[in-house]
Amino acid sequence: MINVVFLLLVFFLITARITPPLPVEIEAPNAEGRSFDASPDVLVIGPDGTPYYLDQSGEQVWSSLAARARETVLTLRVDRAMQGAELAKVLARVSNVTGAGVDLVVEN
């Protein structure tokens, strides 16, 4: 009986998702960077430039970001197809809205 319980436990641990899936599929840009623990606050910018935060998308995201705690760092995930000028605009808007630090997720 204990073997069955142990096997069920292992099965559920393997099949469980530790983090929720991203709202849109993106490919992270390549860059050299340091490793860090991603914060639970994740702002995703899709390939078409649409922002996603929690369960919201589009312009609603910015009001939700303004209401979040300013002490926590925001994790930013963007698609590698995003141009640098677009990324700079997003970073400026995030800085104006949140006033918090931003970690940009890249692939090594």
Q: Give the pLDDT of residue 33.
A: 60
Q: Give the pLDDT of residue 36.
A: 56
pLDDT tens-place string over residues 25-76 = 776 666 666 655 556 678 888 888 888 888 888 888 888 888 876 777 788 8
Ramachandran region, residue 58 (left: φ > 0; alpha: ψ -120 to 50; beta: rest) = left
Q: Give the count of alpha carbons within 13 A of 48, CB side only.
A: 6
Q: Give the pLDDT of residue 85.
A: 86
Domain ranges of the chain: 22-104
Q: Give the pLDDT of residue 68.
A: 77
Percent of the chain past pLDDT 90, that is, above it, reads 0
Q: Is residue 2 scored above 60 in pLDDT?
A: yes
Class level of CATH domain 22-104: alpha beta
The full length of the chain comes to 108
Q: How far apart are CA 65 and CA 52, in angstroms?
A: 10
Helix or strand holding residue 102 (H, E) = strand 102-104
Q: Give the pLDDT of residue 101.
A: 76
